[in-house]
Copies of this chain bind each other. A is one copy, B any other.
Amino acid sequence: MDFRHSARVDALRGQLLAFFETHIYPNEHRFAEEVEANTQAGKRWTPTAVIEELKPEAKAAGLWNLFLPESEHGAGLSNVEYAPLAEIMGRVPWASEVFNCSAPDTGNMEVLARYATPAQQAQWLTPLLDGSIRSAFAMTEPDVASSDGTNIALRIERDGDNYLLDGHKWWTSGAGDPRCALYIVLGRSNPDHPPHQQHSVVLVPAGTPGLKVGRPLPVFGFDDAPHGHCEVTFDGVRVPAENLLLGEGRGFEMMQGRLGPGRIHHCMRLIGVAERALELMCRRLLGRVAFGKPVAKQGVWEERIADARCRIDQARWLTLHAAWKMDQAGNKAARGDIGAVKIVVPQMACDIIDMAMQAFGGAGLADQVPLAAFFMQARALRIADGPDEVHRQALAKLELARYLPPREHRIA
């Protein structure tokens, strides 16, 4: 058993931390100001100059496409090697895109790398890897309980050499971005198949007639501009049959493959969020005086700081082990481990951000520190990619299965 990062990862961590000191932290205010200025100028949904300027720097530094395991594309890092880098990227909400490591593009690239034909890869994967286009992933629907994937109802019908898509999606992340060129869409193509073989995935180019991007949904009061999570309607959207991915009825198979890495990537970043919230909290408590002494020395704060440290460290080891197991045994064998990470990390992050807010008082609710934005992100992940409740049910089933058929245990 060895809890050390590899030398390569240590080096990359060092580079990435240095990049943050030089390029990311100093630009946090600028990002906010640029979005605000764009908004005032009537172009709220515009990519920021700051991110675009930093991308070449990141590429030049070799900090690009760090996320793709087992692939000739990307940096050739395994999941357990990517985890500590993703954690660092999580410390600033908009930073991942600088390194071409932001959702939903990472998951979409992973799908394309695994399941797309060479032609599909040439058309979509190459520019995504290059960062010259963005993409969206359209799965969740407002009209059904999407936590049960078999409910997904968008119709995909074969019509000669085409597929016709009709349905209503929402929470389609990245759809607000004008650079979004590709929608990866899950729908029901074969309603007569068994429940887990009814769905397919189709590639829909942005701008296809009938595809309409609606309003960006707020999370709490945030619209996450210029990224956005949008409603998208498909009204007789027609695409060539070769835009089908992998095969009819194989949507679930691919979704399981896509969602596992996507979930754990979000959680890796959230560990960085939690660490930063704890850092902000400690600095605030040390620097603020009430009732005659630093708040850090008062009341419940030491208790909370210790609990925060215990919870972050536990969540990190759980996550690193799950990533390692994905590398060793595959995403399917690690699905319980990934599920545990998905259950643990967002709630942990929410709780620590909540503590930090309380330490900041009113300032913690507003926008000078990123705590409210952090909370929005962490809270949303208790629902996105499957709500806590569904992941707990799945994990419990795995646990109970170890003891079937029921028999009384020794002693009991």
Contact = CB atoms under 8 A, between A and B. Distances in A.
Interface stretch (A45-53, A174-182, A218-226): A218-226
Nearest to A343: B310
Contact size range, A: 35 or more
User: Which interface residue of A223, A286, A362, A411 has the most chain B CB atoms within 10 A?
Assistant: A362
A406 B361 CA distance: 18
A130 interface: no
Interface in A71-106: 80
Interface stretch (A54-62, A242-250, A261-269, A371-379): A371-379
A388 interface: yes
A165 interface: no
A363 interface: yes
A361 B320 CA distance: 28
Q: Copies per complex?
A: 4
A94 B405 CA distance: 29
Nearest to A392: B306
A213 to B, nearest CB: 16
Contact of A368 (B324, B325, B392, B411): B411
Contacts of A307: 343, 392
Contacts of A368: 411-412
A391 B309 CA distance: 12
Contacts of A294: 406
A332 interface: no
B221 A406 contact: no
Given A290-B145, A317-B314, A372-B221, A384 B362 contact: yes
Interface stretch (A113-121, A184-192, A197-205, A296-304): A296-304
Nearest to A224: B221
A375 to B, nearest CB: 7
A410 B27 CA distance: 10
A302 B393 contact: yes
B395 A309 contact: yes
Please list the 9 inter-chain residue pairs (A to B) with the smallest Cβ-Cβ separation, ordered nearest first. Answer: A221-B221, A317-B317, A221-B222, A302-B396, A314-B314, A306-B392, A286-B406, A145-B290, A148-B290
Interface of A: 1-6, 25-26, 28-29, 80, 140, 142, 145-148, 151, 170-171, 217-223, 278-280, 282-291, 294-296, 298-303, 305-310, 313-315, 317-318, 320-321, 324-325, 340, 343-344, 357-358, 361-370, 372-373, 375-376, 379-380, 382-384, 387-389, 391-393, 395-397, 399-400, 402-404, 406-412
Given A145-B290, A310-B344, A369-B411, 10 more contacts: A1-B4, A145-B289, A217-B367, A220-B375, A221-B376, A287-B407, A303-B392, A306-B399, A309-B396, A368-B412
29 contacts: A1-B3, A25-B410, A140-B362, A142-B363, A145-B290, A147-B290, A151-B290, A217-B365, A217-B366, A219-B221, A219-B366, A220-B365, A220-B372, A220-B375, A278-B399, A283-B406, A287-B406, A302-B396, A303-B303, A306-B340, A306-B392, A309-B340, A314-B314, A357-B379, A358-B388, A358-B389, A361-B383, A364-B383, A370-B411
